[in-house]
Structure 1
């Protein structure tokens, strides 16, 4: 859908500002959304789905979208998807949906809908919670196809263990950890011989009661297990595992450790983690510095199809 088409659907001027766009969108939703008006879009030539899509285009300000022609009849949405403005990984196991929130006339979220489908990498323009939902649905599609091919009446109990692992592997295919670390963290060193050092806040999720860290105390990687990086102190005592206040970094940083692409420096921060107005002893604030090892900084996202294939073979048994 072009910006001009979006303006036509919302019946606004191409020169309208965001406040005018939002006001017109809410006006149309108040008039024609069946959950609000009780009607079924009677009296307007475009569907609620088209109105939502037009609002999404204008709200995000997409500059490079493929043209979509809408039929005068009810739109078949799966046949009229957008071209999402993001890099792709042609080696990804399967295409995924790009989701967008649908809102009512008051701006309340009604649900979500698909605006594009493809092997698109995640970028900051895509809501991260919807990205995770798209990965879950993608893994669900893969396993449903296997169940159907094997004519299973019900999914096996093994699915509860396989699907989270599959979702995690798919996340790595759709996230360029190297590029995202550079984009979302703070670069604190520009020395060529170091390849750049990147800083981000982190947390220690404490699993041992004797964890009593001093400000500036160093921590070290202990082991990787279950997609968690466990940390130890200088005495070799394992205290807990690495966590992040920003969930996005879990899917960026942990795979970089698993692929042995980064070196790390970790120091404790004395300031406690708070939950509301109360202190919590479960988490310890950390300073985390990362540096790419060797030529890892220039490597492309790793193809994980072999691991996915092996995982699915287990599910087929």
Structure 2
């Protein structure tokens, strides 16, 4: 770890003395120590280890902090806000360093910010929403005095409620069309001015059942068709109406951009087989169909009514609180 990285981790700026460094270190430890968070997940332990290393490195320096250290950039998060969102969320960014081959992240902002593909990595955005859902549940648990009860925090029902909250929050913090336009470039604009996108996708099957046989019979260039939506997934079929399985995308953000637009009937798709690969060595046998997924925007989507989503979230939290009261 070098001096610049240590300053970034502890949010230290050029010219601060050891008393200020110590104060910031203690504040961060109170906030992020596993004991304070009630969790000992590996990423939290690594974060604390990094803060300890940064603190010891900075305390060895002459004070004020050496002039050779890079002065911290001053900036504010300027993302688009959904003022009607039910709650705020953290915005996370990666440090310019890794520990054990894994990147660390820090909180850059907090607010009702929509996901911006140009500024925020999608995996960190999902982490942000998981934390927001967790915060909402913890508020309920604190009111009911069950926050420290391990059987409550580890219950299957709690995980189910948190998953439902997570998916409701994705609808509040992702504008599917705006995000798609920033994250991907159209392959072409057709004669009527409609944007056509091309994405890589695939379908997998294993075993010896009908889906495995149907995927193995597909030929390069053959069309496949959507059969049904199942959550954020598309179940696909061949020309003979045989189910092939769920379509998977190479990029995770596409599930949250394309599927909502398709459900709202704002786009049309065409899918063609790019390649078929089978592996019959060992068991179960496996087949993978690479797919060219063409997505054409037809119209602007209607906006979710914020009151409806907020009411769903309130009802979910109320039901969870009622269940805790009846324990």
TM-score, normalised to structure 1's length? Answer: 0.68
- Identify the match of residue 114 of structure 1 among 95, 107, 111: 107
Judge conservation of contact 1:103–1:109 (CA < 8 Å) in 2.
no
Partner of 1:149 in structure 2?
143
**CA–CA separation in structure 1 for the residues paired with 2:14 and 2:276:** 50
Partner of 1:9 in structure 2?
13
Matched position secondary structure for 1:120: coil
**CA–CA separation in structure 2 for the residues paired with 1:10 and 1:288:** 51
**Alignment partner of 1:160 is 2:159:** yes
Judge conservation of contact 1:197–1:291 (CA < 8 Å) in 2.
yes
Once the 2 structures are TM-superposed, how far is the Cα of residue 236 of structure 1 from its aligned partner? 0.8
Judge conservation of contact 1:185–1:200 (CA < 8 Å) in 2.
no
Q: 1:173 to 1:53 in 2, by over 3 A?
A: farther
Q: Which runs of 5+ in 2 are unaligned?
A: 1-7, 16-49, 280-284
Once the 2 structures are TM-superposed, how far is the Cα of residue 273 of structure 1 from its aligned partner? 9.7
Q: 1:216 to 1:53 in 2, by over 3 A?
A: farther
**CA–CA separation in structure 2 for the residues paired with 1:215 and 1:138:** 44
The 5 A counterparts of 1:15-54 are: 34-35=52-53, 38-39=56-57, 41=59, 43-45=62-64, 54=72
Once the 2 structures are TM-superposed, how far is the Cα of residue 300 of structure 1 from its aligned partner? 4.4
Once the 2 structures are TM-superposed, how far is the Cα of residue 103 of structure 1 from its aligned partner? 5.0
**CA–CA separation in structure 2 for the residues paired with 1:165 and 1:122:** 19
Partner of 2:197 in structure 1?
198
Once the 2 structures are TM-superposed, how far is the Cα of residue 286 of structure 1 from its aligned partner? 0.9
Q: Which runs of 5+ in 1 are unaligned?
A: 1-5, 12-31, 59-64, 66-82, 275-279
Q: 1:90 to 1:215 in 2, by over 3 A?
A: same
Alpha carbon RMSD of aligned pairs, Å?
Answer: 3.5
Partner of 1:26 in structure 2?
none
Q: 1:135 to 1:45 in 2, by over 3 A?
A: farther
Matched position secondary structure for 1:186: coil
**Alignment partner of 1:283 is 2:288:** yes
- Identify the match of residue 209 of structure 1 among 204, 207, 212: 212
Once the 2 structures are TM-superposed, how far is the Cα of residue 141 of structure 1 from its aligned partner? 0.3
Judge conservation of contact 1:176–1:301 (CA < 8 Å) in 2.
no
- Please say which of residues 101-110 and 209-218 is displaced more in the overlay: 101-110
Judge conservation of contact 1:84–1:120 (CA < 8 Å) in 2.
no
TM-score, normalised to structure 2's length? Answer: 0.66
